[in-house]
Amino acid sequence: MAKQFGLNEFASRITQKNTHPSPSEKRTVLITGCSAGGIGHALAKEFHSRGIYPSERVFATARRLESMSELQKLGITTLKLDVTRIESICEVRDQVNLMTGGTLDILVNNATENLMAVSDMDMDAARSIFEVNLYGALSMIHEFVQLLIASGDGRIAHIGSIAGIFPLPFSAPYNSSKAAIHALSNTLRVELAPFKQVSLLLTGGVKSNISRPLSLPEDSIYKSIEQTLLQKRVGISQVTALPTAQYAIRVVTELSKPNPRAWFWLGDKSFLCWIFDTFLWKTSLVCFLTYVLDLISWYTCSGWDFH
């Protein structure tokens, strides 16, 4: 079980805040969702390659150990972790606690699930998105917070998404779970202010496995425009996406700074989203996406009657 803290230790931790360890000092990082081809995998490799994070100190986790075999060959510690199962989280917490002597410097909540249109989805699948994306992240923080406090310079990084702001159609549960992560990051930054820094990576398009091939159910109201719809949807996310390795370099560089940014926009279309979010009216993104995707004319071509 992780160490608990009394008032004196609490005060001493506050005074230690923002004292970044020297580059030669060993630091530890745990990342969720590190399967090959995704962002977590690239982050684990990048942290490992920096040298300031020795191999035995990067904990890459995923539901399937075989999906991290490349990381294991590099010498990175790979651990099996399903963020929706509290027993799995506690097991990993206890292993990390033993291997590090009771501390963790950086927790990266990265694991995710995605889905399609609200009208087509199964509600259990929609709930499972929140189980991974929101409750998984909350459980990880709850179980690892003592180890992060013990670090003296603990950091939490959430891989957020411009989808939490950008109203990307056909992924409403994912988008709303990401918006919840943004709110969680902001709240934690206040609530945990004496102990640690919380960073939100507002991620745009990055090459990964996130847009898996999908087919719509036979009774989907979008069935007649299925191919165009899927091509456009995957296109928005992946065609001009930032290579995963480049994304990982930028993120690890940011998280290694003495004071990483609280909100860090990165990835394809993240700048565009920032412009809309910062300078334009709240429904400007709705107007923009409706226009770009041209959904209304698709519906009309497909014989939809709106009246």
Chain residues that interact with ligand NAP, rule: CB under 6 A: 32-35, 37-40, 62-64, 67, 81-84, 110-113, 132, 159, 161, 203, 205-206, 208-210, 237, 241, 267
Token pair of 147 as six digits? 């180890």
Torsions phi, psi for 60 (to 5 deg):
-95, 130
CB nearer to ligand NAP: pick between 92 and 293: 92
CB nearer to ligand NAP: pick between 83 and 117: 83
Q: How far is the CB of 131 from ligand NAP (least distance, A)?
A: 7
Give the CB-side neighbour count of residue 32, counting CA atoms within 13 A: 30
Beta bridge partners of 268: 205
Q: How far is the CB of 178 from ligand NAP (least distance, A)?
A: 6
Q: How far is the CB of 232 from ligand NAP (least distance, A)?
A: 15
The residue type of 250 is R
The residue type of 126 is A
Nearest to 114 by CA among 266, 223, 234: 234
CB nearer to ligand NAP: pick between 262 and 296: 262
CB nearer to ligand NAP: pick between 83 and 293: 83
Token pair of 297 as six digits? 């004319």
Q: How far is the CB of 4 from ligand NAP (least distance, A)?
A: 27
The answer to whether 78 and 99 are in contact (CB under 8 A) is no
Using CA atoms of 242, 226, 282, 166 in order, give the dihedral in degrees to the nearest 10. Answer: -20
Beta bridge partners of 206: 242
The residues annotated with a catalytic role in the active site are: 174, 178
